[in-house]
Amino acid sequence: MQRLVILVSGRGSNLGAIARACRDEAWPATIAAVISNRPDAAGLALARELGLPAVALDHRAHPDRAAFDTALADAIDAAGADWVVLAGFMRILGEPFVQRYAGRMLNIHPSLLPAFPGLHTHRRALDAGCTLAGATVHFVTPTLDHGPIVAQVAVPVRPGDDEASLAARVLVAEHRLYPQALRWCLEGRVRLRDGGIVAEPGLERGRFVD
Ligand code: GAR
């Protein structure tokens, strides 16, 4: 059974979706720990409710990014992680940290990358007049919200959408996308080789949800 460590900074709804997937007997992994850089994150409270080991690691208690990254890596390794899963983790991670978990660290971002990395994705998509929005699961590389893509889901932008309504539609799609994409990686059906994606033929890695 592979061990996941999930990193959260906020609400934790993607954590919830992955935890639900883990209840399936055929799911090939278990959540070894949930770690948050924000001690008050709702995602951490959710982890406790679900009976998962929950670790608060306040980034403000560390003198700099490198010190925080080292403490984070220590906590991840103490949990015996095979995979690091970023689920709304809103801290930039330094290059040594990213290299340490290369090929076994995933992130979800609420846009069709490479469009709109960073913050305020939905507002920027609406401002740009996009007719499609969506979400991407990708392997983490040192560049923020960048890296080889495991899977994407596209959703329509509807007339009258505002940031909140678009974010809500994308989030529903995220909750289906992340467990599926993660599972493909756990099973070795999608993996990283020489900095690029190798995927089993026939996987529906791109989907449109109306
Ligand atoms: C999700 O929409 C996720 O895609 C996004 O934060 C939200 C977390 O929600 N992540 C990023 O923007 C990463 N750049 P959640 O805490 O309810 O899972």
- Section 35-50 average pLDDT: 98
- Evaluate the omega torsion of the peptide bond into residue 201 and state whether it is cis, within 30 degrees of 0: no
- pLDDT at site 92: 95
For atom 10 of ligand 1, which residue has the closest CA? 88
> What ipTM was assigned to the predicted interfaces of this complex?
0.99
- Section 54-58 average pLDDT: 98
- pLDDT at site 187: 97
- pLDDT at site 8: 98
Work out the pLDDT band at 115, boundaries 50, 70, 90: very high
Which of 13, 14, 35 has most ligand 1 atoms within 8 Å of its beta carbon, as the pocket-test mutant? 14
- Evaluate the omega torsion of the peptide bond into residue 117 and state whether it is cis, within 30 degrees of 0: no
Q: What is the pLDDT of residues 119-174, one digit of tens each?
A: 999 999 999 999 999 999 999 999 999 999 999 999 999 999 999 999 999 999 99
For atom 8 of ligand 1, which residue has the closest CA? 88
pTM to 2 decimal places: 0.98
Work out the pLDDT band at 96, boundaries 50, 70, 90: very high
Coil, strand or helix at 24: coil
Work out the pLDDT band at 206, boundaries 50, 70, 90: very high
Q: What is the position in ligand 1's atom list of the atom closest to the CA of 117?
A: 14
The residues lining ligand 1, judged by C-beta closer than 6 Å to any ligand atom, are 8, 10-14, 43, 87-88, 108-110, 135, 145, 171, 174
Check residue 192 and report its DSSP letter.
E
Q: What is the pLDDT of residues 188-204, one digit of tens each?
A: 999 999 999 999 999 99
Residue 103 marked in a binding site: no
- DSSP E strands, the chain: 2-8, 29-36, 54-56, 83-86, 105-109, 132-139, 149-156, 190-193, 196-199, 206-208
Residue 91 marked in a binding site: yes
Gap from CA of 12 to ligand 1 centroid (Å): 8
Q: What is the pLDDT of residues 14-27, one digit of tens each?
A: 999 999 999 998 99
Q: Which of 59, 62, 109, 138 is catalytic?
A: 109
For atom 13 of ligand 1, which residue has the closest CA? 109
Q: Is 109 a catalytic residue?
A: yes
